[in-house]
Amino acid sequence: MNVAFVGLGAIGLPMAVQIQRAGHRVIGIELAEASRARAAVEGVAAVADWRALIECDVVVVMVATPTQLAALVSQCDGLRAGQHWIIMSTVGPASVREQAQRLQAQGVQVVDAPVTGGVARALTGSLLIFASGSAEAVAHCEPVLQAMGEVKNAGVQVGDGQAIKVVNQHLCAVHLVAAAEALSLARSLGLQPEQVLELVEKGAGGSWMLSDRGPRMLEGTDTRVTSMVDIFVKDSGLVAEAAQACQAAVPLLDTAHARFKAAAAAGLGQRDDSRVIETWR
């Protein structure tokens, strides 16, 4: 297929690379010149002009925020009826449904397919993909989706995938903050956090977030960035908004969201999300 990939950031670029390696023709669309340069190094052609997507069979969208998604859809007019858009950004159910309606008014088919697994799994094409939409639209897009990871049927309504991602991000946010608090507690007890991490991560209190983020929590502010604090400010905020919309109580999420906002306010927004541990110092 001819595929346009919008958003060649830290996770978007390896996803686009996997699609290209699967034999599809990929054109990247990315506003940041530095990101286009990184794409060129990986062999992915990229431009800044959205009009490069008009003649493509499939458009994959991996922008960062609901505002960016709305801006993209707003400028895209004259789209080809029958084109398929796969919205893989974490933008929440309300956003994806609103933008899907605007796209569908132009005859575009929309698949809501947020992902989990982060940069590490994007690099290996092993993301977990929550795909929702009509069976026909999902089936049409499967050759592209399967290049990026394992596709799970999340429902027939656009927005169902985002709703599942909301639950996923609730757990991620809470587990990440819990891991930071636990390692901070270990330090306050006079223990060596490195030793504590090694001993407890395989026990009943362990979690994927503890094992993945824990080592970076102990490396210091300048540890490598795989997912920024600002992303979790956004994602935990989307969870809070979705919970409020359905009147669900999420006190643990509220606490985690406050910690990520505190980290961003402390100047850590562009740092790795593991730096939320610094809010305990």
Extract the tokens encoding 207.
């979690």
H/E stretch holding 179 reads helix 160-188
Residue 77 makes CB contacts below 8 A (sequence gap 6+) with: 106
Told to judge if 165 belongs to the known catalytic residues of this protein, a careful annotator would answer: yes
Given the residues 165, 202, 234, 261, the one annotated as active site: 165
Contacts of range 235-240, beta carbons closer than 8 Å, 24 or more positions apart: 235/90, 235/169, 235/172, 235/173, 236/169, 236/170, 236/173, 236/260, 238/66, 238/90, 238/91, 238/92, 238/166, 238/169, 239/166, 239/169, 239/170, 239/173
What is the pairing mode between strands 25-29 and 2-6? parallel
3-state secondary structure of 218: coil
Phi, psi of 145 (to 5 degrees): -60, -45
- Give CA angle at 139 (132, 22), nearest 5°: 105
Closest CA to 124 of 18, 249, 29: 18
Return the active site residues: 165
